């Protein structure tokens, strides 16, 4: 696992070289363009959630940060425990791949957070402006930075592993990606993230997992 993780990180951070060779340009431009479009739309979308935050209290309580984090981690942990209990190496390997994917996505997410230092919507005063949020985060380059969403990156990385490994069960992709989507969108309603944060986090979680972690599967 450590060796695989280090190899993953090497190839992830050398990705710009591949772009320079003209590879993967279309999907990269698509993700970049959609993220940029959402960044432009963010200041116009977030006032609605800030104004109606009280009406969403019950929903937000269900998708509390600690609860959604625990639920996301519970899936690979359950697979690992079940795999060992039933001597199911496939389940064990799936759990380990999910852990690898989660870690790979987290490193990239934290690096971008440290570079962008985006203020979280919840830290914008009521009625304040949601413009100029980049390079305006809290004292911590990680905790106070919203861009991209670590929750979205993590939950989509786990969902991608489980969906791919158990794709012969047609309901599995629908369930895991549905859960990942709901958890990610809840980060907007709780004012923890902007829509662009969530989109980029989800895109990172999926692409890093699908095209790096699972490339030989």
Domain boundaries, the chain: 2-213
Name the one residue in this structure whose structure tokens are 């794709």.
167
Could you give the CA distance from residue 60 to residue 63 in angstroms, rounded to a whole number? Answer: 5
Q: What is the full per-residue pLDDT of the chain (217 aa) written as tens digits?
A: 788 889 999 999 999 998 888 888 999 999 999 999 999 999 999 998 888 766 565 555 566 667 777 877 888 999 999 999 999 999 999 999 999 999 999 999 999 999 999 999 999 998 899 999 999 877 666 677 899 999 999 999 999 999 999 999 999 999 999 999 998 988 898 888 999 999 999 999 999 999 999 987 7
Helix axes 89-116, 65-86, angle to 10 degrees: 150
Q: How far apart are CA 175 and CA 100, in angstroms?
A: 21
Distance CA 82, CA 92 (A): 8
- Token digits of residue 134: 């980049």
Q: What is the distance of C-alpha 56 from the center of its chain?
A: 22
- Fold for domain 2-213? Vanadium-containing Chloroperoxidase; domain 1 (1.20.144)
Place of tokens 């998708």: 63
């Amino acid at each position: 696992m450590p060796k695989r993780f280090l190899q993953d990180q090497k190839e992830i951070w050398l990705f710009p070289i591949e772009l320079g060779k003209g590879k993967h340009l279309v999907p990269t431009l698509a993700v970049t363009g959609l993220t940029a479009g959402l960044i432009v739309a963010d200041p116009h979308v977030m006032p609605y959630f800030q104004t109606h935050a009280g009406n969403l209290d019950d929903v937000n309580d269900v998708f509390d940060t600690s609860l959604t984090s625990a639920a996301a981690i519970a899936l690979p942990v359950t697979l690992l425990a079940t795999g060992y209990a039933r001597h199911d190496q496939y389940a064990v390997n799936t759990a380990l791949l999910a852990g690898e994917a989660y870690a790979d996505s987290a490193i990239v997410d934290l690096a971008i957070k440290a570079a962008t230092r985006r203020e979280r919507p919840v830290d914008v005063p009521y009625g304040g402006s949601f413009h100029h949020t980049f390079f305006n985060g809290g004292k911590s380059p990680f905790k106070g930075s919203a861009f991209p969403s670590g929750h979205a990156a993590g939950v989509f990385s786990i969902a991608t592993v489980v969906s791919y490994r158990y794709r012969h069960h047609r309901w599995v992709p629908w369930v895991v990606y549905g859960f990942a989507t709901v958890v990610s969108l809840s980060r907007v309603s709780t004012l923890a993230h902007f829509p662009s944060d969530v989109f980029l986090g989800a895109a990172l979680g999926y692409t890093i997992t699908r095209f790096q972690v699972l490339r030989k599967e």
